[in-house]
Amino acid sequence: MRAGELVDDRFALEAQVGAGGMGTVWRALDRATGEAVALKFLRDPVGGNAARFAQEARILAAIEHRHVVRYLGHGLAPTREPYLAMEWLEGEDLAARLSRGGLTLEDSLSLVERAAFALGAAHARGIVHRDVKPSNLFLVGGEVTRVKLLDFGIARQPGALATLTQTGAILGTPGYLAPEQAQGEREVGPQADVFALGAVLFECVTGSAAFRGMQVMALLAKLLLEEPPRLIEVCADVPRELSELCHRMLAKDPGARPAHGAAVAEALARIPRGAALRAAPRHDAARAPIGTTERRLVSILAIAPPQDEPAGQDDATAPVAGASWKIVRDAVQPLGATVDVLADGTMLVVLAGAGDATDQAARAARCALRVHAGLPRAGMALVTGRGDTTERQQVGEIVERAATLLGRMRAHGSASGPVMVLDEVTRALLDTRFEVTESGELSVLVRERMLGEHPRLLLGRPSPFVGRDREMQRLLGFLEDAFEDRRAVAATVTAPAGMGKSRLRLELMGRLSDRVPNLAIVIGRGDSLGAKGGLGLLGSGLRGALGLEAGERPSAQQEKILSAVKRYVAGDAAERVAEFLGELVGAPFPDEKSPRLRAARHNAQLMAEQVESACLEFMRAVTRRGPLLWVLEDLHWGDPASVKLCDVALRELEDEPFGVLAFARPELHEIFPRLWAERHAQEVRLGPLSKRAADAMVSAALRDPAAARQVAALVERAEGNAFFIEELIRAAVDGRSDTLPETVLGMVEARLSALPLEARRLLRAASVFGDRFCKRETNSTRKNNIEQFQALRGYARPGRRSAGGDGGRCVRAIGGARAVLVADHRGRGFGTRCAWGRSYGGAEPDVGSFHRAPLRLQKAGPPSQVRRTRPSLVASAGVQAARGRGTAGL
């Protein structure tokens, strides 16, 4: 093509004005009308390209609307390249306009209403645009009232060939795709365009995209998992009706959105303009009270498509992707996770916070291991972070990290194929039973062992065992005396998560093995997923003691069981005991030559009796050779059948050197009241580490004398929790000593979850006052809280007297309460704190010391901009509070 050439004896080419991968755009003169026109040429008319280009021409010809670019004709150029002629437009597209900032509220309404009318005209003809975005909205002459809808290149109309697009292909622009498009759905309706127009409306009003991400996968995930903030949460001067309309347009469920473009235009037309718009009711009073929402721990497993599975599938290959999705769903649903599939083939497994942070990390790691077993050729990234618990689940930062980690995994490669990589937070939360290796800068999850055989490493060295000598000596003496006197005993060690139960167990097992000859130790572990299963706890211990490996041939497992039993049980009884132990450990023997086994398999009561008898006979035989100690880890997740059988064993073997030693969290006594009370069981409760022990632990890790100054602050913040101390040490070494690590926040979250709902809300609201607060302070954030205030006394420590003048006694807030506040509530809470301080003649809050960590700016920008912006924002918060706005909605 050259300037001056004539196309179809009508269009005289003047100049090429654009070029892309698919073709070129020329300015030309329409000799029939004398008007300038735009000619769009398809450079490579092969495969489905020509059919799609022809479909765009037909669609554009079918729509006549003043806000849709006008169709003039189409055909073939002399070079046999298809062309499409449209009216020539002078001006700029909306993307260029928004690059200079958002529009006024009036202009936003005018533009989006006209775009909605244009879409309505297409929808009335059964046409779905599928790529509504700012660059496809052209402002003729730069005027929003003269907007034109462009580019119907991927639009769909009734009767269009399904083969023109692929299932799983990304059609549209990430950031403006409807969730159904983000999942790769082929058949989408007008509501997809409504969603995209809602994203455009949001960006026009706020000057910021509703969905943002550094990578395509992260953007697609946010479209599925996140709700953007409501307009009024970003711009306080937005009318309630407009905010609610935008919220409905951006609904995840297509059925919850306006049905088509015309419905949006009609809704926008009802919103007043001019002076009436400025006087319309605002939404400030309906903001959620401070403390009613919180951030919680969320784990996300991002699964890349298997290497032999195409990312985009047509009808022939779609079953492959469906099979992968089913494998993932079946693997993770028992663990309480949800699965979403993105248009690029990536699958996202989401586990929202429930219970202790270490438990959630373990569940997430098990999800990864289960998926890997079913899809060994799929690479995975497992990350953990915090999202809020409002009606929208904010997980954007977590998804971004997952996408980045997947990219690093692909770039790194692996000789053994795809791997399961972990972020730092997840790795720190996993205990030593999960085997993790280092591959370059990546942490790779390998497998889960029965129990951790080694202590956790701290800065590359085993963490020192300190502060538990008294408990150690008590347990050693108790068990050694019992073994020497040949009597059965039981003991429990209870403590909250992170207090050092597992480390005490490791040290105790080592010392007992050195001091007690012929000691046999069997270690079982409770499972949070199988707490109600029959004899699962004892079965897990026996599997480990017998050396049974997952994936072994049944015959190999049976040989191991029979060989172990014959070492202790003589004669024909050995085969009987081995057969029923096989039932207990999940390695069943064949019953063709065993009438007793065959009969038991047809009678549940008989089977239970035979398994119990075989287990007791085997245990008694072992005790005749030497002492036997059953160690039960995580007994709070133990099954009732195992607990009952241990009680029977303590009774039946009362004159044998037999012991049961259980480790559990304090809720053990709620789950199993009067546990082994008739056996005179001893209980050791692990309290917080003493200050001296904590000092020793920190000093051993921070060997640099210059770091000694951090010891006192670290010990105070850790409150005697060994896990907290380790994580705070890591944070200090990394230069993050002024913020609580995500691992610690996850553990604090579990403590907070034990409080009543209103007490948790009160604590989060009161946390804006710092580490200490009093009744009068909490009354400024939440009303009618006396009962909840009293409930907090059991979770807080006495503090200094209040400066508020009421003589009330203060309590120290749980350290993580402030961190679980959502960002909007932190900013509003700070404004309230400013107002409260002035009302009682107090000093302004120390922003540097208090809000350095928790204050997060939604649109932070570069660090230099944050530093410049923070003082003005803080000052503004104080002014708003002084005007009475700081307490709005409290």
Ranges of beta strands (E only) in 628-678 are 628-633, 658-664
Nearest to 255 by CA among 165, 202, 263, 243: 263
- Are 120 and 261 within 8 A, CB to CB? yes
Cα Rg of the chain (Å, integer): 34
| Rounded CA separation 307/776 (Å) | 61
- 3-state secondary structure (DSSP) of residue 240: helix
State the catalytic residue, choosing from 93, 131, 151, 193. 131
Cα 885–Cα 887–Cα 890 angle in degrees, nearest 5: 135
Sheet (strand 809-812) strand order: 772-773, 809-812, 798-801
Find tokens 């080694």 and name the residue. Answer: 454
Instruction: Give the amino acid at 811.
Output: V
Nearest to 13 by CA among 44, 38, 42, 43: 38
Q: How many CA atoms lie within 13 A of 234 on its CB side?
A: 20
To the query of whether residue 485 is one of the catalytic residues in this protein, the response is: no
- Are 435 and 370 within 8 A, CB to CB? no
| Rounded CA separation 194/258 (Å) | 7
Which contiguous run of DSSP H or E holds residue 223?
Answer: helix 216-225
Residues in the chain: 890
Instruction: Give the amino acid at 515.
Output: R
If phi > 0 it is left, if psi is from -120 to 50 it is alpha, else beta; for residue 759 that is: alpha
| Rounded CA separation 593/223 (Å) | 61
Max Cα–Cα distance, the chain, nearest Å: 113
- Are 683 and 491 within 8 A, CB to CB? yes
Which contiguous run of DSSP H or E holds residue 7?
Answer: strand 6-7
Q: How many CB atoms lie within 10 A of CB 249?
A: 27
In order of 28, 439, 473, 558, 610, the CA distances from 554 in angstroms are 78, 34, 43, 6, 21
Q: According to the annotation, is 148 in a ligand binding site? A: no
Cα 482–Cα 486–Cα 492 angle in degrees, nearest 5: 35
Known binding-site residue numbers for ATP: 40
**Which residues are known catalytic residues?**
131
Question: Which residue ranges are tagged as binding site?
Answer: 40
